[in-house]
Amino acid sequence: MYVCICNAITEKQVRNAATEGATDLMRLQKELGVGAGCGSCKEMAAEILAEYRQHASAVFAPVRYQPKTA
């Protein structure tokens, strides 16, 4: 699905940028050009980033060691 029609940026490209370290809209704008045209895609791009970050924090949450008790 296209997120940014002006620059033909897809949802997959936004997710890949998040995987590679993009953490905010400003970085997406710099790397992909999201929002550089009309700007109507900014909200959707930010939502995709937030969704990715929420998922990544759940997947990579630290696991606490709990020793077994007898």
Whether the predicted pLDDT of 59 surpasses 70: no
**pTM tops 0.85, yes or no:** no
Q: Which domains does the chain have, with CATH numbers?
A: 2-56 (1.10.10.1100)
Two tokens, residue 19: 């995987």
d(CA 59, CA 7): 31
Amino acid identity at 32:
L
pLDDT at position 49 over 80: yes
Look at residues 9, 70, 65, 13 and name the one whose alpha carbon lies nearest to residue 41.
9
Task: Write the single-letter amino acid at 52.
Answer: Y
pLDDT above 80 (res 45): yes
- pLDDT per residue over 8-39, tens digit each? 999 999 999 999 989 899 999 999 999 989 99
